[in-house]
Amino acid sequence: MKIAVLVPCYNEALTVKKVIDDFKMVLPEADIYVYDNNSKDDTSKIAAENGAIVVRETRQGKGNVVRSMFRDIDADYYIMVDGDDTYPAEFAKELLKPVMNGTADMTIGDRLSNGTYRSENKRAFHNFGNNLVKGLIGQLFKNDINDIMTGYRAFNRYFVKTMPVLSGGFEIETEMSIHALDKKFLLREIPIDYRDRPEGSNSKLNTYKDGIKVLKTIVSLFKDYKPLPFFLTISIVSFIIGLLIGIPVIVEFFSTHFIDKIPSAILALGFILISILLITNGLILDTLVKQNRQNYELFLNQYKMNKKD
């Protein structure tokens, strides 16, 4: 049985040694991989000196790092943790337990349930952003996951080797959560403690820029995974606008049997036609998504058969 600890890093020279030492103490049998994402400091040197397997990932962005990790590293079980020492290593065994006993394909380290994230996190609007993302995904994908964006997770090989990583940046956590929900992987949340970065260690997150990226990712994944409700919503809006513009034209026609508001009539007709096209697109794409799900299920079945062989 092989366990791999995955540590994506960018300028974490101040904290990476402690992260490695802590996980060595908790999981002495694990291999610790530090993927350095173009750090400008001594992250790679310090990680190598402290026994980690260091790999350089030149494509900038956490999503690109995770993609390379999932492709390159062969293990039975994986645990992913940030290199900033905000996630305590002592919760690693609790996260691994469900994936090792077969009750979960991915476990999620829930920072929000016990309140430590709200008390420790000093970055403005991050609590608001987490709640917003949680609410949006909860409504759109009908789930009760509490911490969508946590960077502390454990996986089995089945999930890692069948997860298509498309995101390039910090929106990777959101993508993994939505993919797991859509493809019916077994999920478990484990409440964990959270601690803010030590003094001198700076967050790489930009509250507004990365927040907008995450929201765009949610909208994009909603379109990709649930195209019928996505296009139906826009279709209804377009239909209502067309109806509001067209009602005066209809009233005028029934009153005078003539139409003087020609531009309004054309505009209203345009919105109605757009509405019809949108719902048609939604129906076609919904069929394609269902076929994709069927193909993915067959792919998962084939993966398991090959694993047994």
Per-residue pLDDT, averaged over 196-214, amounts to 68
Q: What percent of the chain has pLDDT over 90?
A: 66
* Residue 273 identity (one-letter amino acid): L
Point out the domain boundary residue: 155, 188, 223.
223
205 and 130 belong to one structural domain: yes
The pair of structure tokens assigned to 107 is 């476990």
182 and 249 belong to one structural domain: no
Point out the domain boundary residue: 191, 223, 255.
223
- Distance CA(32)–CA(19), nearest Å, equals 10
Q: What is the pLDDT of residue 31?
A: 97
Where residue 264 falls (left for φ over 0; alpha for ψ -120 to 50; beta otherwise) is alpha
Per-residue confidence band for 296, with pLDDT thresholds at 50, 70 and 90: very high
Summarize pLDDT for 61-84 with one digit per residue, the tens. 999 999 999 999 999 999 999 999
Q: Which range marks the domain in which residue 11 is found?
A: 3-223
Q: What percent of the chain has pLDDT over 70?
A: 90
Q: Are 185 and 303 in contact (CB under 8 A)?
A: no
DSSP label of 91: G
263 and 181 belong to one structural domain: no
3-class DSSP assignment, residue 191: strand
205 and 58 belong to one structural domain: yes
Q: What is the pLDDT of residue 160?
A: 96
Per-residue pLDDT, averaged over 194-198, amounts to 79
Residue of 152, 112, 153 lying closest to 130 (CA atoms): 112
The total domain count for the chain is: 2
Q: Are 16 and 46 in contact (CB under 8 A)?
A: yes
Summarize pLDDT for 263-279 with one digit per residue, the tens. 999 999 999 999 999 99
Mean pLDDT over the full length of the chain: 89
The pair of structure tokens assigned to 79 is 């645990």
- Distance CA(258)–CA(38), nearest Å, equals 69
46 and 148 belong to one structural domain: yes
Per-residue confidence band for 305, with pLDDT thresholds at 50, 70 and 90: confident
Point out the domain boundary residue: 195, 223, 251.
223
Beta strands in the chain (DSSP E): 3-9, 31-36, 53-56, 77-80, 106-110, 153-156, 187-191
**What's this model's pTM, rounded to 2 decimal places?**
0.81
Question: What is the domain-level CATH number for residue 172?
Answer: 3.90.550.10
175 and 233 belong to one structural domain: no
Mean pLDDT: which of 112-121, 252-261, 288-297 is highest? 288-297
3-class DSSP assignment, residue 20: helix
75 and 7 belong to one structural domain: yes
Residue of 202, 211, 209 lying closest to 85 (CA atoms): 202
92 and 214 belong to one structural domain: yes
- Distance CA(13)–CA(85), nearest Å, equals 11
